[in-house]
């Protein structure tokens, strides 16, 4: 893995992800803040419907969200 440049080392890991992953993460977090009772699966299905994505399975999306949530929380701690 190439060495991280000093100027990009300050950028949280979450912003280095793909646009689809970032969209999923922010969409799900926003829905969970607005509607606290919504489940993760319901929110992901809403994201799929909103974006028209039909080739991403639920388990992969859940895993992606969980990894991004972990990265986000780790970056918030530091």
21-61 residue pLDDT tens: 999 999 999 999 999 999 999 999 999 999 998 889 999 99
Does 64 map to a domain?
yes
Name the DSSP letter for residue 16.
G
* pLDDT for the residue 9: 59
Range(s) of the domain holding residue 68: 40-78
**Residue 44 burial (C-beta neighbours within 10 Å; 0-12, 13-18, 19+):** buried
Q: What is the pTM of this model?
A: 0.78
Residue 5 lies in a domain: no
pLDDT band, residue 19 (cuts 50/70/90)? confident
Identify whether 53 is part of a domain: yes
Residue 5 has pLDDT above 80, yes or no: no
Q: Name the domain count of the chain.
A: 1
- For residue 51, is it within any domain? yes
Mean pLDDT, residues 71-76 taken together:
82
In a domain, 71, yes or no: yes
How many residues in total does the chain contain? 78
């Amino acid at each position: 893995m190439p060495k991280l440049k000093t100027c990009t080392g300050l950028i949280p890991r979450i912003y280095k992800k793909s646009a689809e992953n970032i969209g999923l993460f922010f969409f799900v977090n926003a829905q969970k803040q607005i509607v606290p009772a919504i489940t993760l699966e319901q929110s992901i299905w809403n994201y799929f419907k909103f974006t028209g994505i039909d080739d991403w399975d639920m388990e992969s999306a859940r895993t992606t969200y969980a990894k991004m949530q972990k990265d986000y929380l780790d970056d918030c701690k530091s």
